[in-house]
Amino acid sequence: MIDRYRIFLLFIVVFLFMAIFAPRFFNVFNLTTIMRTMAMNAVVAIGFTIVLICGELDLSIGTIITFSGVVGLGLKEYLGYGGSVPIAILTGCGIGLINGLLVAKAKINSFIVTLGMMTILQGAIYTATGGNSISLSTEDAFAVSDWLSKMILPLITPRVLITIGFIVFFTLFMRRTRMGRNFYMVGGNTQTAWLAGVNTDGYKIVAFIISGFTAALGGVLFAMEGSAATLKLGDTSLMYIVSATIIGGTAMSGGKGGVFRTFIAILMLDVLYNGIILFGLGNEVKIFIAGLILATVVMYEAYAAYKHDKIVGQRAELLKELNTKHGK
Amino acid sequence: MMQTVQKESTQIETRLRTQSTFNRIFSTLGVYGVAVLFLLLGIILQISGVINNFLTAQNMLNIIDAVSLLGIVAMGMAFVTYSGHYADLSVPTTMALTGIVCVEMLKYGFFPAVIISFIVGLLVGGINAVAIGKFKANPIIWTLAVNYVSMGVIRLVWVNKQIYPDLKASSVKASVLFDNIYRFRFFDKIALPMVFLIILVIVCHFILQRTKFGVQLKLTGSARNVAKFSGVNVERVISIAFLLCAATATLGGLTVTSLSKVGAWYNGAGYDFKAVTAVVIGGMTLAGGRGSIIGVLGGVLIIGLMNNIMTLLGIGTFSQDMIRGAIFILVVGLNAKSLRSQGRDDA
Amino acid sequence: MSDTVDAVAIGLAFEMKSVTKAFPGTVAVDMVDFDVQAGEVHALVGENGAGKSTLMKIMAGSFNDYTGDVFINTKEVSLHSPSAAKKNGIEMIYQELSLALPISIAENVLVGRLPKKSFFLDKEKMNMETLRCLKMVGLDYLDPMTPVEEISQHEAQLVEIAKALGNNPCILVMDEPTSALSQEEVERLFEIIRNLKKRGLAIVYISHHLPEIFAIADRVTVLRDGKKIATKNVSEVTREEVVQMMVGRSVNEFYKHEAHTQKEETLRVENLSRFGFFHDINFRAYKGEIVGICGLSGAGRSELARVLVGLDDSDEGKLYLHDKELRIKNMAHALENGIAYLTENRKTEGLALRLDVRENVLAGLIPRHTKYGVYNQRLGTPLLNTLIKELSIIPPDPNRTVNNLSGGNQQKVLLAKWMACDTKVLILDEPTRGVDIGAKMTIHQSIERLAKEGVTIMLISSDLPELVALSNRVLIMRQGHFIREMQKSECTEESVLLAANGEGGE
């Protein structure tokens, strides 16, 4: 029971801790900052979660983020945002499609496919940009970023709204529609799903496309945030999103977990990082803490499984017998 | 009617048998076959004037130098993959960590520094061993997490600084010794890392093929539960695999740090991917229990030849990255496909 | 499809005429005629390799290249794909569970046909429909939203059946449905099957287990070498006749074992307990005897075996080997001392399917053939060849991948592994489960030979004829305790079964 709501508890604990102890935490400005960073990662994490639920792994999301950021900004001067953004997003979908085809049709392990794709994209990014980051210098450079950050309501900016919109959509989709539940089945027992007529190959491909889509969307949002696409844009994202997804309860084995839980995990991690910075600890601590939390969660689950294996199958009547015997 | 069926069936049987023998030969020698193919490719390109200096002694030595480092790390990685645990993604930071620790500890002398580095490396390996060997944590996610934690440790303790061996060393001698890890050459030609690699290949091949540990590792990689039910101490066997990987990562870390002459957090970056590529191209499947060390060496050679030819062709580093990534996917895909057609399900 | 079924199903539900399926090198099914009536249980028997599983796969629509005619309710159909089979009302229940563990019962049962209401799932309908299916197997006390991993193994198997029934099949094919069930669970399953018969379902029942077939089936068809030998009414044929048709030669399936006279004690167990699994176990075993352990599922037999061999730790009690106290630390330690265990799960715990026969058979000998850390694999070759010959492992090729062997041969390889180990005490757990008659005979012969050579054999088996025939005495285990010991003279299938149920006798 605790397991299912673990992430919510964790979030509340972390939030309260920071609210009480971290200096300058609980004010509009700071909370807005949190909302801003969270927004972009949360979007990307949606796709990753869905791929994981299908029982596959997408290690290429970090590089998709960077790549689409580069494409989105790089093409802006030729096509304007109205052109470059859709193209960037389509590129992400295209990469996801290739990943999906290789995994589902060529039947290559997703670890291999996405690891290889990540390397390919790294090369592509450098080749495309010639090693320089792209930044905009025109007056409207920050226009979009500003618009996205305009506060409509306290804490709610258009950027946040977009994110929450996607979160709500995908959460409902995965929980309450037939297609969404089929993703779980594909991850839970692929063979059975296939025999029952579910197009498992198709679902896996779609999962990767969604992952590419959300990564591209995140990349564009990231890039527009700073109006610069640095070559390190998506580097830390992979670790961050993997951590959040696993902490949120989506298992690597597939068939379990959820988009909303990943979202709460992202929120929690962002609050945590924010607090760390406010405490005056540097960037390095963030990486360390992220890894530490992930390791803790993984170890916790492994240990729980280990303990469970030891006692599974115990019979209640026999245990009761023991109590009476020792009680005498 | 029955007779034709019989005749057909014997024909088919023979064909199946030759096919499976062919596949078996192809997979073990296949790796070196591909390596030879690359060699031929280089020769052809040279003869047709597209590239120069391929078939020179210097170039061949360059290739071997370049792959020695990769080969060292790949040896340890091979044990992890063979055990059925895919890969140890904490290798890059273990390399960086042990390198920077060694440089830092040079102030106590060369040999103490090296010993301390190995202790640190084996500690990381030990953490992996416990989590994955005893508690069955997911190897990819766990080693990824350890990678980040190690990275954090490095950046916390040394605060993003780079440290230099000649500045840290207790004596000139210590500093020179350290530099020589990468630079020392026997007879002016054979670099020390290459010697390390050759020794490692021989030792590791022997360990994998002929020792009790190696055979038990094969069983564990093939079917962990079955190994347990056959009396194999599975936890111990897996732990040793991860410790071996950490050990070679340490050696690789010292070498790469010696090469770059600076202790930093980015030494070792990318070696997880490169090592896994070599291991997988060398014939080890991710599912475990299949392949050989000699095969992995072949994989390393293939990568070396491939990189060399691409550089001679003038292809830029990053384009090379793209090609390497694509080939990685291709090789694994083809390997898995051929195994599947033989009726063995695999990675 | 459902209207074909709900309309009263009478007469011939399924008929195959001259169906043939060939593979490169063999003809697996050769001009077989087979039919099933609505409301009948038709058993399909035959040794491994006789063609049962191929025939079953044809019915499941796994092949698109069989020849012959297939009729469903007298209408000709072609079963060229799994979906075609499903559309025609054929549902399969395999030995391995096809359920997805982290997912709810409802989503498993309704996989592929989740009901929806405009964009969203219709939760109410899901619940109702799932309960309707669960009711047919007596599981309507379960909450459909429960993940499958939270229910018991037996309940999960029933859910599997409920899932098949939910598709309103007219023909149900069950492959070895009782191989992992206890007696009471088998009875419950038979009840369900009888209910399904009343509803007009045609049931094909594939099993190795003759007593069950005689208990539940109406007709039986015997296959041998891909051909149909005969179809008979169960009431008009005897067990021996069926076995004779299956094997093609007169077979004495049962062995009369001489009374055991050796009195040298090898194993003694005192007050052994593992909390929650078994308590207070006391017994002695002697050189050269075969001690049967009988009990219903959950009695704790396999758990006891695992503790004896070091795979699990005991919580209290002592073990004596040749009168010397022994604290077993782990399985390797047990093996060193000559105690070995043949697991009941040969595919997941017994054999490394991707490795070859040689590597599997010699797996337990690795420590013994190692000197200074170096393992010499040639040391095992003569032993390997002897064992392959003795157990008639077919094909007799030590380099054959175990996955490519038939079930019976796989089990022989597993037995060979422990026979190679020079054990003093060998614990066998369901040594002939899922094994054809010929292999079963060979395995029994080898067990007897081992006993004659002085090995103490502990035989855990739910195959009552086997247990009764081979054992010198039988220990009855029930709910974690040994409740009774029965000498050979008192053992019949009925008396042993009654004792295991806690009734009869003292």
pLDDT in tens, C222-268: 988 788 888 999 899 887 788 777 766 544 445 555 556 667 888 89
Collect all residues of chain B within an 8 Å Cβ-Cβ radius of residue C366. 212, 215-216, 219, 230, 232
Kindly report, residue by residue over A158-186, the tens digit of the pLDDT. 788 888 999 999 999 998 888 999 999 99
Q: DSSP string covering A297-327, please?
A: HHHHHHHHHHHHHHHTT--HHHHHHHHHHHH
Collect all residues of chain A within an 8 Å Cβ-Cβ radius of residue C300. 315
Collect all residues of chain B within an 8 Å Cβ-Cβ radius of residue C351. 223, 226
pLDDT band at C1 (very low <50, low <70, confident <90, very high): very low
Both tokens assigned to C78:
């072609």
**Rounded distance between C-alpha atoms, residue A226 and residue A213, angstroms:** 21
Interchain CB contact of A1 with C (< 8 Å):
no
Element (H, E) at C499: helix C493-500
Interchain CB contact of C379 with B (< 8 Å):
no
Is A95 part of any domain?
yes
Interchain CB contact of A181 with C (< 8 Å):
yes
Both tokens assigned to C203:
């049931």
Collect all residues of chain B within an 8 Å Cβ-Cβ radius of residue A120. 321-322, 325-326
Q: What is the pLDDT of residue C78?
A: 87
Which of A115, A116, A295 lies closest to B146 in CB terms?
A295
Residues 82-121 of A with CB under 8 A from B: 102, 106-109, 111-113, 115-121
Is C220 part of any domain?
yes
Work out how many domains chain A is built from and give that number. 1
Most confident region among A207-211, A311-315, B53-57, C474-478 by mean pLDDT: A207-211
Collect all residues of chain C within an 8 Å Cβ-Cβ radius of residue B230. 331, 363-364, 366, 417
Kindly report, residue by residue over B134-149, the tens digit of the pLDDT. 898 889 889 988 998 9
Which of C82, C107, C298 lies closest to A181 in CB terms?
C107
Collect all residues of chain C within an 8 Å Cβ-Cβ radius of residue B210. 374-375
Containing structural domain, residue A119: 2-285
Going by C-alpha positions, the residue among A216, A253, A207, A255 that lies closest to residue A101 is A207
Which residues have CB under 8 Å from B65's CB, separation 6+? Answer: B191, B193, B194
Q: Which of A76-80, A189-193, B243-247, B255-259 has the lowest mean pLDDT?
A: A76-80
Which 8-state DSSP code applies to residue A230?
A: -
**Cross-chain Cβ contact A176/C279 below 8 Å:** no
Kindly report, residue by residue over C68-80, the tens digit of the pLDDT. 888 888 888 888 8
Residues 262-301 of A with CB under 8 A from C: none
SS (H, E, C) chain B: CHHHHHHHHHHHHHHHHHHHHHHHHHHHHHHHHHHHHHHHHHHHHHHCCCCCCCCCHHHHHHHHHHHHHHHHHHHHHHHHHHCCCCCCCCHHHHHHHHHHHHHHHHHHCHHHHHHHHHHHHHHHHHHHHHHHHHCCCCHHHHHHHHHHHHHHHHHHHCCCCCECHHHHCCCHHHHHHHHHHHHCEECCCEEHHHHHHHHHHHHHHHHHHHEHHHHHHHHHHHCHHHHHCCCCCHHHHHHHHHHHHHHHHHHHHHHHHHHHCCECCCCCCCHHHHHHHHHHHCCCCCCCCCCCHHHHHHHHHHHHHHHHHHHHCCCCHHHHHHHHHHHHHHHHHHHHHHHHHCCCCCC
Collect all residues of chain A within an 8 Å Cβ-Cβ radius of residue C105. none
- How close C173 comes to chain B (CA, Å)? 27
The count of CB pairs under 8 A between chains A and B is 148
Taking the alpha carbons of B239, B241, B244, B250 in that order, is the dihedral positive or negative?
A: negative
**Cross-chain Cβ contact B212/C22 below 8 Å:** no
Which SS3 state, helix, strand or coil, does residue C32 take? strand
Interchain CB contact of B326 with A (< 8 Å):
yes
**Rounded distance between C-alpha atoms, residue A47 and residue A266, angstroms:** 14
**Rounded distance between C-alpha atoms, residue C473 and residue C491, angstroms:** 8
Q: Are C149 and C142 in contact (CB under 8 A)?
A: no
Collect all residues of chain A within an 8 Å Cβ-Cβ radius of residue B160. 284
Q: What is the pLDDT of residue C6?
A: 41
Is A310 part of any domain?
no
Kindly report, residue by residue over C271-298, the tens digit of the pLDDT. 999 888 888 899 999 888 999 998 866 6
Cα angle B336, B342, B347; round to 5: 25
Pairwise pLDDT comparison (A137 vs C389), residue with the higher score: C389
Pairwise pLDDT comparison (A22 vs C39), residue with the higher score: C39
Q: Are B110 and B174 in contact (CB under 8 A)?
A: yes
For testing contact with chain B, the best of C21, C354, C368, C369 (most B CBs within 10 A): C354
**Cross-chain Cβ contact B140/A291 below 8 Å:** no
Q: Whole-number mean pLDDT of chain A?
A: 83
What are the extents of the domains in chain B?
69-276
- How close A2 comes to chain C (CA, Å)? 15
% of chain C exceeding 90 in pLDDT: 19
Which of B142, B151, B316 lies closest to A295 in CB terms?
B142
pLDDT band at A136 (very low <50, low <70, confident <90, very high): low
Q: What is the pLDDT of residue B208?
A: 92
Instruction: Based on DSSP, count helices (H) and strands (E) in chain A, helices before strands.
Output: 14, 2
Interchain CB contact of C355 with A (< 8 Å):
no
- How close C276 comes to chain A (CA, Å)? 4
At B142, the amino acid letter reads W
CB-neighbour burial class of residue C75 (10 A; exposed 0-12, middle 13-18, buried 19+)? exposed
Is C488 part of any domain?
yes
Interchain CB contact of B347 with A (< 8 Å):
yes
Residues 269-328 of C with CB under 8 A from A: 275-279, 298, 300, 303
Collect all residues of chain C within an 8 Å Cβ-Cβ radius of residue A256. 102
Containing structural domain, residue C148: 97-167
Are C345 and C435 contained in the same domain? yes
C3 pLDDT above the threshold of 50: no
Collect all residues of chain A within an 8 Å Cβ-Cβ radius of residue C303. 313
For testing contact with chain A, the best of C62, C111, C477 (most A CBs within 10 A): C111
**Rounded distance between C-alpha atoms, residue A36 and residue B87, angstroms:** 35
Interchain CB contact of B328 with A (< 8 Å):
yes
Residues 12-31 of B with CB under 8 A from C: 12-13, 16
Q: What is the pLDDT of residue A134?
A: 67
User: What is the Rg, in whole angstroms, of the alpha carbon atoms belonging to chain B?
Assistant: 22
Q: What is the pLDDT of residue C250?
A: 47
Interchain CB contact of C416 with B (< 8 Å):
no
**Rounded distance between C-alpha atoms, residue C138 and residue C129, angstroms:** 14
Q: Are A170 and A65 in contact (CB under 8 A)?
A: no
Q: What is the pTM of this model?
A: 0.82
Q: What is the pLDDT of residue A144?
A: 66
**Rounded distance between C-alpha atoms, residue B306 and residue B37, angstroms:** 10
Which of A126, A291, A302 lies closest to B137 in CB terms?
A302
- How close B219 comes to chain A (CA, Å)? 21
**Cross-chain Cβ contact A291/B325 below 8 Å:** no
Both tokens assigned to A134:
């792209």
Which of A184, A188, A313 lies closest to C277 in CB terms?
A313
**Cross-chain Cβ contact B148/A287 below 8 Å:** yes
CATH of the domain at A145: 1.10.3470.10
Which of C100, C121, C479 lies closest to A178 in CB terms?
C121
CATH of the domain at C447: 3.40.50.300
Is C369 part of any domain?
no
Q: What is the pLDDT of residue A227?
A: 58
Is A308 part of any domain?
no
Going by C-alpha positions, the residue among B61, B239, B43, B55 that lies closest to residue B136 is B239
Measured between alpha carbons, how far apart are the two ends of chain A, in Å? Answer: 34
Is C271 part of any domain?
yes
- How close A200 comes to chain C (CA, Å)? 11
Is A325 part of any domain?
no
C402 pLDDT above the threshold of 60: yes
Collect all residues of chain A within an 8 Å Cβ-Cβ radius of residue B139. none
Both tokens assigned to A14:
């972390």
Interchain CB contact of A300 with B (< 8 Å):
no
C452 alpha carbon, distance to own chain's centre:
27
Going by C-alpha positions, the residue among C105, C82, C112 that lies closest to residue C160 is C105
Are C435 and C328 contained in the same domain? yes
Spans of chain B below 50 pLDDT: 1-10, 12-13, 22, 25-26, 345-347
CB-neighbour burial class of residue A317 (10 A; exposed 0-12, middle 13-18, buried 19+)? exposed
C329 pLDDT above the threshold of 50: yes
Interchain CB contact of A82 with C (< 8 Å):
no
Residues 236-255 of A with CB under 8 A from C: 251, 253-255
Per the rule left: phi > 0, alpha: psi between -120 and 50, beta: everything else, C165 is alpha
Angle between helices A110-129 and B271-281 (to 10 degrees): 130
Q: Are A234 and A64 in contact (CB under 8 A)?
A: yes
Torsion on CA atoms C424, C429, C434, C439, rounded to nearest 10:
20
**Rounded distance between C-alpha atoms, residue C223 and residue C210, angstroms:** 14
Work out how many domains chain C is built from and give that number. 3
Is A252 part of any domain?
yes
A119 pLDDT above the threshold of 50: yes
SS (H, E, C) C213-250: HHHHCCEEEEEECCEEEEEEEHHHCCHHHHHHHHHCCC
